[in-house]
Amino acid sequence: MARYTDLIARALVDISADPLGIGSHERPDLGKGIRSRHLMASNTSSGPSNPRHIVFYRVDGDRVLALRLLHEARDLAGKTQE
């Protein structure tokens, strides 16, 4: 469990450092300015073998706002745009 928690923290740091970088995806289907990044993009050889969560966030000027951390199997269809 600690390795997974460490991976989540690492992903948030990575997103904060480069919110539009490798592994980041625009998600206009979920709302204006929303982006996503799978935890796998921040995983290292010492991390969990198969992370299954995605961070959803928005860049707001010089801030990055983490909105959700959801399991990749979560059905996002039907979400309304903001």
**pLDDT tens digit sequence for 19-76:** 999 999 999 999 999 999 999 999 887 778 889 999 999 999 999 999 999 999 987 7
55: closest CA among 80, 38, 41?
Answer: 38
Q: Domain ranges in the chain?
A: 2-71
Q: What pTM did the predictor assign?
A: 0.86
Please tell me the predicted confidence (pLDDT) of residue 78: 52
- pLDDT value, residue 48: 84
Which pLDDT value is given to residue 80?
45
CATH number given to 2-71: 3.30.2310
Nearest-angstrom CA–CA distance, 44 and 7: 9
As a whole number of Å, the CA-based R_g of the chain is 13
Sign of the Cα torsion 68, 73, 51, 59 reads: negative
